């Protein structure tokens, strides 16, 4: 089957789009508001988009508190959601009224970050501290409209990772970290079944000069 994503003419009970780009990592975004109140919420329209230097993005469906706080204070932290933090992460997705702190309401311990003002989830086994680069408001389905989605791009200025997630040679072991990712509908995955494969070598090219 095929369908137009603008017209949703798939005839299925639910739009399959988000089940087809999987798994999506989850950025558990901590920010502070102008009064210093701490906000924490998950975003799975989230990814690392460059590493030299490092940039991440998350996309907000409307003007949610995380986006608002990033634009007011210019900083955010992406906390990695691992298996043991999954329930707490889900709880922070509830629509808390603006100004109410999810970590405070839910009893989630935070610790000071290294380079930015928003705190880090104390139990997070990895975190990326970020400075706001820019927000991109995507065009909507009709050219005269804007999408409800705004893409927040941040420059990563500090990376933390739990030493216990590294093997003796210094490689991060996904089976030790066990990150949680989002699949389609209401499904999630814990990444544990992984394999290694070297990059292919450049194919021989008769005209290649060296």
Interface residues with ligand FMN (CB under 6 A) are 26, 39, 41-45, 59-61, 64-66, 90, 93, 95, 182
The nearest distance, CB 207 to ligand FMN, in angstroms, is 46
SS3 breakdown of the chain: % helix, strand, coil, rounded to 5?
Answer: 15, 35, 45
The nearest distance, CB 80 to ligand FMN, in angstroms, is 13
Question: Partners of 154 in the beta sheet?
Answer: 56, 132
Nearer residue to ligand FMN within complex by CB, 41 or 77? 41
Nearer residue to ligand FMN within complex by CB, 60 or 120? 60
The nearest distance, CB 192 to ligand FMN, in angstroms, is 18
The nearest distance, CB 142 to ligand FMN, in angstroms, is 21
Angle of CA points 123, 37, 95, to nearest 5°: 80
CB burial of 92-115 (b: ≥16 within 10 Å; e: otherwise) equals beeebeeeebbbeeeebebeebee
Nearer residue to ligand FMN within complex by CB, 83 or 166? 83
């Amino acid at each position: 089957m095929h369908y137009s994503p603008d017209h949703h003419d798939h005839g299925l009970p639910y739009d399959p789009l988000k089940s087809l780009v999987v798994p999506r990592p989850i950025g558990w975004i901590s920010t502070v508001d102008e009064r210093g109140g701490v906000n924490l919420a998950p975003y799975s329209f989230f990814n690392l988009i460059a590493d030299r230097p490092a940039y991440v993005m998350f996309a907000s469906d409307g003007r949610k508190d995380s986006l608002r706080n990033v634009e007011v204070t210019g900083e955010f932290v992406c906390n990695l959601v691992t298996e043991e933090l999954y329930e707490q992460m889900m709880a922070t997705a509830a629509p808390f009224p603006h100004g109410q702190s999810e970590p405070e309401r839910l009893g989630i311990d935070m610790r000071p970050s290294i380079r930015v003002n928003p705190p880090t989830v104390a139990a997070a086994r990895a975190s990326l501290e970020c400075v706001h680069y820019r927000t991109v408001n995507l065009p909507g389905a009709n050219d005269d409209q804007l999408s409800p989605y705004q893409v927040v791009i941040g420059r990563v200025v500090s990376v933390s990772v739990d030493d216990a997630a590294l093997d003796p040679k210094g490689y991060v072991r996904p089976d030790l970290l066990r990150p949680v990712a989002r699949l389609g509908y209401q499904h999630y995955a814990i990444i544990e079944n992984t394999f290694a494969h070297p990059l292919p070598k450049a194919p021989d090219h008769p005209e290649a000069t060296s």
